[in-house]
A and B are shown apart, each in its own frame.
Chain A
Amino acid sequence: MEEICFDVKNVNLFYGEKQALKNINMQLLKHKVTAFIGPSGCGKSTFIRCLNRMNDLIEGCKVEGEIFKDGQDIYSAKQDIVDLRTHVGMVFQKPNPFPMSIYDNIAYGPRCQGLKDKKKLDEIVITSLKQVALYDEVADRLHESAMGLSGGQQQRLCIARCIAMSPEVILMDEPTSALDPISTAKIEDLVLELKKEYTIIIVTHNMQQAARISDYTAFFLMGEVIEMDITDKIFASPGDKRTENYITGRFG
């Protein structure tokens, strides 16, 4: 029996007058990798940002509908946003390490929650770095600036920073679009490794990537979900003509 992580019901999103998401309904399963694909401007990034309420930061952005996580609507007034974000981590398109040391980058989240115990922080930093296979590369320079790392290393650091909070879900918004093929392959391996422990939702422009790493795929177009199914099925025999056109490269 598959457990549901997010249950999305009739979500509409507006930027001012403009409607960016139209009546989204889907269930996102725990410990699976779900990929959102679709052409630029189709709303996939906008939607992933609904799941940790990052859209709240955009002025004039209004969300209607409900998104249930563990039985609670995260858009209800009762929801503590800070608490939500400690459970739903996010990795961004561009690697964005803080201008501080590697160690402090990873310790940042736990420290913000009031963790001061040096031993515990050390442990979190090391296990997080090991989980993203970065530890061996940076073990001797944990206290040097994170800005000195390569793009791929920075992105893995950002994932480690996210893991340090031990979230349930990791949202990834085109995490490899700024990276070279080798770094991309490392991140993809990492995603497959991480899904044992975390629920992963990933937005990607790269259809091969979606096919390689995801269990489920949702195809977005013009703010709507055209089709969502098991990834193999979407790529082998899409149910909608528009999905087929997109994944065979006829547009987008």
Chain B
Amino acid sequence: MLVNKKRVKRNKSLDKFFHGFFMAMALLSASFIVIIVLFVFAKGISPFLPGYEYGQVNIISFLTGSLYRQDQGIYGIGFIVINTLVCSFLALLLSFPISVLTALFIAKIAPKKLGAIMQSVVELLASVPSVVYGVFAAGVIAALIKDLASSLGITTFGGSSMLAVIILLAIMIFPTLTSMATTAIKAVDKDLEQASLALGATRTQTNFKIVLAAAKSGIFAGAILGLGRAFGEATAVAMVAGNKLFGPTFDLFDITRTLTSTMLAGLKETSGLDYDIRFSVGLVLIAVIFVSNWVLNYVKKKVGNN
């Protein structure tokens, strides 16, 4: 007899145990997310509730304000939201074409070995810690911008500027965009390429009209991820943003202020409302990311519907 009844029973109970065990693990990690969101929400919403110990803040003037002065107790972040959106989207605009063309080169044009080397370089870039990008931005990008500005007769705050933030973010999201785009391009059905070439299209025509068109959904997904990173990047951005007190900023050489740099600046040396309000800013940041992801996913669906 191959079937041992005892054995079968034991296997069954072992199965049951592991089923429960995995479920517990999944619940644990899911509960972290819930706990974090609940905590940030509770803390972030508190300044706007009546009876708040440091004096209730008006939520409308918080969300729409164009002045942020903790020394005077004025907290308006409307302009900061705009700054964040402008910086992130411009960074995406700058990084997107470079990333897509790099991905095309890696996946389709480069000789195999060179492509593999380039791909590992891109992956390496993704693993550089953001604070390292930050010192690079402060030491190199900001210095270059300072020189550029002074040659144009513009004074900057030591190079800290919106332009520095945009360039920094563009560099930081480049690996995400590129590796997602490379994967998407490599996944394009070879049959489509062959069909195009067999119709007398050139390599370049095939790459642009067929390969990129077929990969656009994956490329777009990379853009969404990259934008999420741009929105959320704090450390490096805080090092070159300059934290302007009012705004919004539309001058590339002027300093700016993003939601993340606002949350980060002086977090450890403050208390009371100025401390709690950072949680409110965090909530707004989550909302901004959520909404822009939703919008981009909607656009992606529209674009991908072919």
State the A residues within 8 Å of B (CB): 52, 54, 57, 82-83, 85-86, 89-90, 92, 94, 96, 98-101, 108-109, 112-113, 145, 147, 158, 161-162, 165
Q: Is the CB of A109 within 8 A of B200?
A: yes
Given A92-B191, A112-B205, verify A100-B198 contact (CB < 8 Å).
Answer: no
At the interface, yes or no: B110 with Cβ under 8 Å from chain A?
no
* A-B contact sample (16 more), CB < 8 A, given A96-B192, A108-B199: A54-B197, A82-B202, A92-B195, A94-B191, A98-B196, A98-B210, A98-B213, A98-B214, A108-B209, A109-B201, A112-B199, A112-B205, A112-B209, A113-B200, A145-B305, A158-B195
Report B194 CB to chain A, min CB distance, Å: 7
Partner of A108, one of B191, B196, B202, B305: B196
At the interface, yes or no: B123 with Cβ under 8 Å from chain A?
no
Q: Across the interface, name the chain A residue whose C-beta is closest to B217.
A: A99
Report B153 CB to chain A, min CB distance, Å: 46
Given A112-B202, A145-B306, verify A99-B196 contact (CB < 8 Å).
Answer: no
Q: Is the CB of A112 within 8 A of B189?
A: no
Report B222 CB to chain A, min CB distance, Å: 18
Interface string of B273-306 (1 = CB under 8 A from A): 0000000000000000000000000000000011
Q: Provide the residues of chain B in CB contact with A83, threshold 8 Å.
A: 200
State the B residues within 8 Å of A (CB): 189, 191-192, 194-202, 205, 209-210, 213-214, 305-306
What are the nearest 6 A-B pairs in CB distance? A86-B200, A96-B191, A90-B198, A109-B199, A85-B200, A112-B201
Q: Provide the residues of chain B in CB contact with A92, threshold 8 Å.
A: 191, 194-195, 198
Q: Provide the residues of chain B in CB contact with A89, threshold 8 Å.
A: 198-199
Cα A62 to Cα B141 with chains together (Å): 50
Report B115 CB to chain A, min CB distance, Å: 13
Q: Is the CB of B213 within 8 A of A99?
A: yes
Q: Is the CB of A100 within 8 A of B197?
A: no
Q: Is the CB of A52 within 8 A of B198?
A: yes
Q: Across the interface, name the chain B residue whose C-beta is closest to A111.
A: B209
Cα A147 to Cα B213 with chains together (Å): 14
Q: Is the CB of B306 within 8 A of A96?
A: no
Q: Provide the residues of chain A in CB contact with B306, threshold 8 Å.
A: 99-101, 145, 147
Q: Is the CB of B194 within 8 A of A57?
A: yes
Cα A98 to Cα B201 with chains together (Å): 13
Q: Is the CB of B200 within 8 A of A96?
A: no
Q: Provide the residues of chain A in CB contact with B214, threshold 8 Å.
A: 98-99
Cα A147 to Cα B214 with chains together (Å): 12
Q: Is the CB of A96 within 8 A of B213?
A: no
Q: Provide the residues of chain B in CB contact with A100, threshold 8 Å.
A: 213, 306
Cα A94 to Cα B192 with chains together (Å): 10
